[in-house]
Amino acid sequence: MTQNANNPSSAMPFSQSRFSVAPMLDWTDRHCRYFHRKLTKQTLLYTEMVTTGAIIHGKGDYLAYSEEEHPLALQLGGSDPEALAHCARLAEQRGYDEINLNVGCPSDRVQNGRFGACLMGEAQLVADGIKAMRDVVSIPVTVKTRIGIDDQDSYEFLCDFIGIVSGKGECNSFTVHARKAWLSGLSPKENREIPPLDYERVYQLKRDFPHLNIAINGGIKTLEEAKIHLQHLDGVMMGREAYQSPSILAHVDRELFDPSAEVPNSIDVVRSLYPYIERELANGTYLGHITRHILGIFQSIPGARQWRRHLSENAHKAGAGVEVVEAALQFVSQSRGE
């Protein structure tokens, strides 16, 4: 499941990616990413946030992935420069294309570990961590952050943070969630919805820091919206919409990268997963751990409800295999006359 550091894809400047799928805890695991890569070749994919503690002290292999997932960025959670550097070095050895530091997650658990959005209040510490990683790896080291935290939400505060991290930390690439985060009083879900979006503030950031690569995240639901943002910024990151309606990703390559790119057929994409599913089942993975990520592929298509129901009711059963997916697929293919 590891990747050779000499993968030719590593030659591409993935930190400059025009489009990416956001790191989402419990969602963008390796099965999800394998599926997403079947839909889009160009999109930069991210791991779930992985803490430095899990990588260094955990019993599992928290850096495992499939070679087919490239281009792939590892999102790290942590604040200790030495630990971050150690994990960055390991990630580069495993073949990751980019390291991203989480300075945006507002959950209590993350704050207690002194990482995530609370680090916006410690710009020098973030800079130290970024610099420590940059000193030991040759792949891009980037930051995902918010526009502010709590009452520290002025544009000047944001500029100071970006200025310190880009100057002293030598970070040249930021993805900015265009909402501030409340570190107390709101759940992570509420922090994705209640603080108002301020896209113009991120646009202004690019105007004031034209030498930096600035991508935007937050509330983006269509590729048409992405195109509007790309008139002002270097990149767009889409989160839950890409996960819940993954057919969007099938159009990314043509709409945002190459007008001649083919749009993959969703039924063909599902069937192309069968060898992967069989390989994973042989290694002890439960079918439901894979199929939960593909439930939304036929959103708004006749037969989609029956597709979801069949998978939800049968994928968790003992011995469930590819035949369960093929049976579910019949509800959609029959509605299309295929």
Q: Do 130 and 169 meet the contact criterion of CB atoms below 8 Å apart?
A: yes
Both tokens assigned to 231: 């008139």
Q: Is the pLDDT of residue 11 over 50?
A: no
6 lies in a domain?
Answer: no
In this prediction, residue 80 has a pLDDT band, given cuts at 50, 70 and 90, of very high
Section 66-95 average pLDDT: 97
| Separation between Cα atoms, residue 70 and residue 41, nearest integer Å | 8
| Separation between Cα atoms, residue 207 and residue 30, nearest integer Å | 36
Q: What sections of 283-321 are H helices per DSSP?
A: 287-291, 304-314
Percent of the chain with pLDDT over 90: 85
11 lies in a domain?
Answer: no
Section 14-18 average pLDDT: 66
288 lies in a domain?
Answer: yes
Residue 109 has a pLDDT of 66
Which residue range forms the structural domain that includes residue 302?
266-335
Strand, helix or coil at 177? strand
Considering the domain architecture, whether residues 31 and 180 belong to the same structural domain is answered as yes
In this prediction, residue 193 has a pLDDT band, given cuts at 50, 70 and 90, of confident
Cβ-Cβ contacts under 8 Å for 277 (sequence gap 6 or more): 287, 290, 321, 322, 325
202 lies in a domain?
Answer: yes
End-to-end CA distance of the chain: 35
Give me the catalytic one of 87, 105, 118, 171.
Answer: 105
Both tokens assigned to 139: 């792949």
Both tokens assigned to 267: 């039924």
Considering the domain architecture, whether residues 309 and 174 belong to the same structural domain is answered as no
In this prediction, residue 8 has a pLDDT band, given cuts at 50, 70 and 90, of very low
Residue 6 has a pLDDT of 37
Q: Is the pLDDT of residue 129 over 50?
A: yes
Considering the domain architecture, whether residues 218 and 288 belong to the same structural domain is answered as no
| Separation between Cα atoms, residue 120 and residue 102, nearest integer Å | 10
Beta bridge mates, 238: 21
Nearest to 78 by CA among 107, 106, 103: 103
Q: For 253-301, what is each residue's pLDDT tens digit?
A: 999 999 999 999 999 999 999 999 999 999 999 999 999 999 999 998 9
Q: Do 12 and 71 meet the contact criterion of CB atoms below 8 Å apart?
A: yes
64 lies in a domain?
Answer: yes
Nearest to 52 by CA among 78, 73, 30, 82: 78
Number of domains the chain contains: 2
Average pLDDT for the chain? 92
Nearest to 31 by CA among 221, 288, 256, 282: 288
Residue 3 has a pLDDT of 38
CATH number at residue 86: 3.20.20.70
Considering the domain architecture, whether residues 223 and 322 belong to the same structural domain is answered as no
Residue 241 has a pLDDT of 97
The least confident of 57-71, 184-198, 220-234, 263-277 is: 184-198
Section 67-89 average pLDDT: 97
Considering the domain architecture, whether residues 193 and 314 belong to the same structural domain is answered as no
Residue 337 has a pLDDT of 54
Binding positions for FMN: 23-25, 75, 144, 177, 217-219, 239-240
Considering the domain architecture, whether residues 81 and 214 belong to the same structural domain is answered as yes
Q: Do 116 and 85 meet the contact criterion of CB atoms below 8 Å apart?
A: no
Count of CB atoms situated within 10 Å of the CB of 193: 13
Q: What sections of the chain are H helices per DSSP?
A: 30-39, 52-57, 81-94, 108-112, 123-134, 155-167, 188-191, 199-208, 223-229, 240-244, 252, 266-272, 274-282, 287-291, 304-314, 322-336
| 105 catalytic per annotation | yes
Q: Chain-centre distance of CA 196, in angstroms?
A: 22
Domain final residue pick, 222, 257, 292? 257
